[in-house]
Structure 1
């Protein structure tokens, strides 16, 4: 289980979670929200040739197969596992519905199976929904041979009411070797794309280079 990479490097990993719960799917179906895929954010990363790691839920990949293929097809991007339906692996985790202990291993394994056909740079990295985990959850995932990745820079983008707080949260916490947690879920993280250019500029001023998680941890 890792929270950051080596501190004696000038590299940082930008990671983007792609959440999708049953409740989010329902909001898409009834038109309450229009999209949980931030295509502007993705285009910014592509245009600026920025490496990134995407922690994808199985349900998000099924909802957005074309976007998942787009991510998988970019050699600067890599894909990691963020569970199948973004349910909580512990109690009291941001009001997420709780996954039964006996279902944890199967949920994560199902996500690997769902993501596998998309190809690209797939990894055995896993991030718990809400970063919520305990010893029982870790034991459940041990047979899958995953590396659990949290992060030491939490952007707070799902709760932000503007780009400024996201920029400040990242640049005030980031250090050499940091793992930055952001989201590509547009309706739940509306300002990540607006914040990204200033974040990239701030990293550049500090001499910090964005890389994939695999490169940071290598």
Structure 2
């Protein structure tokens, strides 16, 4: 088959355009994969929404009271649990899920994940997912690495297990057990649109929650589940 000069030029132009489209599409898809792997510190900045996350590896004695406050305040949070804790307290894991809160993955043994090889990081996440699913029939989709640590290996482990890494915008540092007013002040001083608030199940945090939620709402913030915050 032969082309005239004009048709040949048109064919080459069309082929070039197709090649450019293919390259752009591949680059865009690659960028999307990279974005999905990146740790999330914040939701959509354009929306006046925030989320509450609670990392749980201890504090089971305070969890029922915390759940009661959240229930009365009509707030859904995300509880990131370690596998070892979930295995010891399946009834609390189930209760969190039954009340409509999301359960996230906090690794199995709360290790320093940056020191672990890929295979061990994957095992930490998978074991925790299995324990939580047995207790609450809920699959974990988000991973909060212990101590907020991450590197390329941790990011890859989360990706291979189908999890997105969640960090925080505001750290209450409540594990140091400061007074409730100080916890509330830290949140209100550091909060911003799309903010992710990090907490732990402590007596002081539970006492701080009602006033904190009230003040956030007075500032015009909507407290939403993590999934909604990220999706925008």
Question: Aligning the two structures, in what range does the TM-score lie when normalised by the shorter sequence?
Answer: 0.7 to 0.9
- Give the match's secondary structure for 2:160: helix
- Over 3 Å counting, the alpha-carbon distance change for 1:168 and 1:4 in structure 2 is same
Cα RMSD for the two superposed structures: 1.8
Q: Which runs of 5+ in 2 are unaligned?
A: 1-38
Q: 1:177 maps to which residue? A: 194
Q: Which runs of 5+ in 1 are unaligned?
A: 21-33, 92-98
Shift of 1:198: 1.4
Q: 1:84 maps to which residue? A: 108
Instruction: State TM-score, norm by structure 1.
Output: 0.82
Q: 2:203 maps to which residue? A: 190
- Over 3 Å counting, the alpha-carbon distance change for 1:100 and 1:37 in structure 2 is farther
Task: Give deviations 1:29-64, integer Å, cap 9, x for gaps.
Answer: xxxxx9554321111112222111111111111222
Task: Give deviations 1:85-131, integer Å, cap 9, x for gaps.
Answer: 1111125xxxxxxx555411111111111111233654410000010
Contact 1:89–1:101 (8 Å) recurs in 2 = no
Q: 2:4 maps to which residue? A: none
* 1:1-218 aligned within 5 A: 1-20=39-58, 35-75=60-100, 77-90=101-114, 99=116, 101-119=118-136, 122-184=139-201, 189-218=202-231
- Give the match's secondary structure for 1:54: strand
Contact 2:49–2:193 (8 Å) recurs in 1 = yes
Structure 2: distance between partners of 1:64 and 1:168: 32
**Highest relative contact order (Cα 8 Å, sep 6+), 1 or 2?**
1
- Give the match's secondary structure for 2:182: helix
Structure 1: distance between partners of 2:77 and 2:130: 22
Structure 1: distance between partners of 2:55 and 2:120: 21
- Over 3 Å counting, the alpha-carbon distance change for 1:120 and 1:177 in structure 2 is farther
Instruction: State TM-score, norm by structure 2.
Output: 0.77
Contact 2:73–2:213 (8 Å) recurs in 1 = no
Q: 1:25 maps to which residue? A: none
Structure 1: distance between partners of 2:200 and 2:223: 16
- Give the match's secondary structure for 1:166: helix
- Give the match's secondary structure for 1:67: helix
- Over 3 Å counting, the alpha-carbon distance change for 1:36 and 1:133 in structure 2 is farther
Structure 1: distance between partners of 2:162 and 2:96: 24
Greater Rg, structure 1 or structure 2?
A: 2
